[in-house]
Each structure stands twice: as structure tokens, then as C-alpha cells.
């Protein structure tokens, strides 16, 4: 298969080999990836780190070991769109490659329940896209919203796009926002359909933002290089929902 078009939009040969192997193997360890790709251990780790930043890989820790998982190949198209000015002539080729890669995925490699890490802005986009795909009809809940000033503008653009997509899918949400954001993030959310907002004092905020959709809990820490932990577990979701309801009952409108 000709991967030249992927190289032109910022993928390295190693990243392509590791990603293609992840699709073929399903959730796997670095040992298997090293054998499959014939790359050095350090190279495989570097490629995995870059793929996670691109939103194309994540991992879960099992028995003290990391098990890596590939994001759907369609994510390549989204990554490519951000660099459209650089590779417009090859966009059709990229789409064909994504389609070919989809055929290599194991039909039985459904993502296991567990905790998955996402890193970087591309990783966060993958994590939040997964929310939209798996939320179902259950109301979403978000609380402890606190954002570092240095990334506030970028976060605002990111989260506004997410909520636009959410509203198109008619996913209802209740959100608890730090009082200091009442006239910024708060007003933006209040204008949206399917959205209810209340406010909590600064002392109730934490460095992490808790997002609950269906049985998934996404704990996001927003910094220059944001990270998120996605937990697919009904009991964890239920516990966070109960805590949210306690805060909601005491929050200001």
C-alpha cells in the first residue's frame, strides 16, 4: 500500500507502521508492536506518543502494563482536514488509505471496558468525539470547570465546537461552572439548547473537569498539553452522578 500521502501531512514512516500494526493486532502491548514492526523499542514508544498526540491511539493500564489501542482510521480524515492547505491535492488519496486501513481492523476487537488515556489537543478531540458517539439518550453532566488562563481562548474555541455538535445531536446536559466564568463560558452555554447551567464558588473547583455521559466518565485536565482519562464503568458513572446531584442542589442559578 502506498502511504506517501500520509507522509506528506506529517506522519513518519514509523508512525504509519505502528498505527497500521495497532489496527491489525487490536489492543496490544509494546512487545507485540516491536515484533510486528521490527522497529527499535525506543522508536515504537516515540511513535506511540506522537500517535496519541494526533488522537490516533490511546492506552489502558492492565496489571501494571500498558495496552495500546488504535482510534478508528476515519480519524485520519479529521487530522488531514486541519492541514488541508498543505495537502489539498492529495486529500482524495488520504481518504482512500483510511478506507483501506479500515479493512485491516479485526472484527472482534471491540474496545474493552477500562480506563483509557488521551494526550494533547488531538487526543482530546478524539476523547470528546467518543462522547458524542457513545452518549446515547442519557443526560450528560459536567462539573468542576476550571481552566488555566494561558489556554482559556483555545479551550473556548475547542469546547464551543464540541457543544455545537452536541446540540445538533440533541444531547441534553447539565453543567456546573466556576462562578468566575459566569460571563464567559457560562453565557455561551446558557444560550445553547438542551443545556442547563448553574454556578459554584471557586472553592468547589478542581484542576480536573468531570464529564459524565452514559456509562463513561471523562476526567480532563486542561493545560498546555491537556490529558484525559476515560473510564467506561457503570458503577463509577453512578458514583459521579450522585456527587454531581449533591453539588447541583446547592449551586446558584
Calculate mean pLDDT across residues 151-173: 93
- Let me know whether 181 and 242 are in one domain: yes
Among 52, 75, 102, residue at a domain's last position: 102
Nearest Cα to Cα of residue 32 among 7, 1, 66: 66
- The whole-number pLDDT of residue 107 equals 38
Domain assignment present for residue 209? The answer is: yes
pLDDT average, residue stretch 98-126: 67
pTM of the complete model = 0.65
One domain, residues 154 and 90: no
Residues 176 and 226 in one domain: yes
Does the pLDDT value for residue 20 go beyond 70? yes
Residue 110 pLDDT greater than 60, yes or no: no
- Residue 127 CA to residue 111 CA, distance in Å, equals 14
Averaged pLDDT, 209-220: 90
Domain shared by 85 and 207, yes or no? no
pLDDT of residue 25: 92
Q: What band does 161 get if pLDDT is binned at 50, 70 and 90?
A: very high
CA 252/CA 68 separation, integer angstroms: 42
Number of structural domains (the chain) is 2
**pLDDT for position 91:** 47
Q: Which of 10-19, 91-100, 121-130 has the lowest mean pLDDT?
A: 91-100
Q: Is 108 within a domain?
A: no
Q: What pLDDT is stored for residue 247 in this prediction?
A: 87
Average pLDDT over residues 111-140: 84
Q: What is the pLDDT of residues 30-51, one digit of tens each?
A: 999 999 999 999 999 999 999 9
- 219 lies in which domain range? 117-250
Q: Is residue 72 part of a domain?
A: yes
For 86, the grid coordinates are 498543505
Cell numbers 456546573 correspond to 176
The yes-or-no verdict on residue 87 having pLDDT over 50 is no
Please count the CA atoms within 13 angstroms of the CA of 36 that sit on its side-chain side.
19
Of the candidates 136, 134, 69, which has an alpha carbon nearest to the alpha carbon of residue 105? 69
Quote the mean pLDDT of the chain.
Answer: 83
**Does the pLDDT of residue 78 top 60, yes or no?**
yes
The domain that contains 129 carries what CATH number? 3.30.870.10
Segment 113-122, tens digit of pLDDT:
578 899 999 9
Residues 155 and 52 in one domain: no
CA dihedral angle for residue 253, residue 188, residue 241, residue 236, rounded to 10 degrees = -160
* Reported confidence tier of residue 111, pLDDT bands at 50, 70, 90: very low
Same domain, 156 and 221: yes
pLDDT value of position 176: 93
- Same domain (yes/no): 123, 206: yes
Residue 111 lies in a domain: no
Sheet strands (E) in 37-185: 57-62, 65-70, 115-119, 140-145, 173-178
- Is pLDDT larger for residue 13 or for residue 146? 13
Residue 4 banded pLDDT, cuts 50, 70, 90: low
- The yes-or-no verdict on residue 103 having pLDDT over 80 is no
- Are 165 and 192 part of one and the same domain? yes
Amino acid at each position: 500500500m502506498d502511504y506517501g500521502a500520509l507522509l506528506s501531512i506529517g506522519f513518519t514512516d514509523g508512525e504509519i507502521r505502528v498505527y497500521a500494526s495497532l489496527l491489525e493486532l487490536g489492543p496490544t502491548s509494546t512487545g507485540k508492536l516491536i515484533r510486528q514492526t521490527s522497529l527499535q523499542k525506543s522508536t515504537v514508544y516515540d511513535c506511540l506518543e506522537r500517535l496519541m498526540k494526533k488522537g490516533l491511539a490511546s492506552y489502558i493500564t492492565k496489571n501494571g502494563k500498558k495496552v495500546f489501542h488504535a482510534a478508528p482510521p476515519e480519524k485520519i480524515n479529521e487530522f488531514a482536514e486541519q492541514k488541508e492547505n498543505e495537502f489539498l491535492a492529495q486529500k482524495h488519496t488520504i481518504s482512500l488509505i483510511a478506507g483501506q486501513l479500515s479493512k485491516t481492523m479485526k472484527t472482534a476487537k471491540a474496545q474493552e471496558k477500562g480506563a483509557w488515556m488521551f494526550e494533547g489537543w488531538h487526543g482530546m478531540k478524539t476523547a470528546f468525539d467518543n462522547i458524542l458517539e457513545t452518549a446515547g439518550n442519557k443526560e450528560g453532566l459536567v462539573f468542576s470547570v476550571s481552566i488555566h488562563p494561558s489556554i482559556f481562548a483555545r479551550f473556548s474555541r475547542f469546547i464551543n465546537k464540541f457543544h455545537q455538535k452536541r446540540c445538533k445531536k440533541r444531547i441534553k446536559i447539565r453543567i456546573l461552572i466556576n462562578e468566575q466564568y459566569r460571563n464567559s463560558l457560562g453565557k455561551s452555554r446558557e444560550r445553547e439548547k438542551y443545556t442547563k447551567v448553574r454556578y459554584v464558588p471557586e472553592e468547589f473547583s478542581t484542576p480536573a473537569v468531570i464529564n459524565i455521559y452514559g456509562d463513561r466518565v471523562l476526567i480532563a485536565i486542561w493545560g498546555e498539553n491537556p490529558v484525559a482519562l476515560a473510564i467506561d464503568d457503570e458503577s463509577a458513572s453512578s458514583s459521579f452522578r450522585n456527587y454531581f446531584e449533591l453539588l447541583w442542589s446547592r449551586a446558584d442559578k
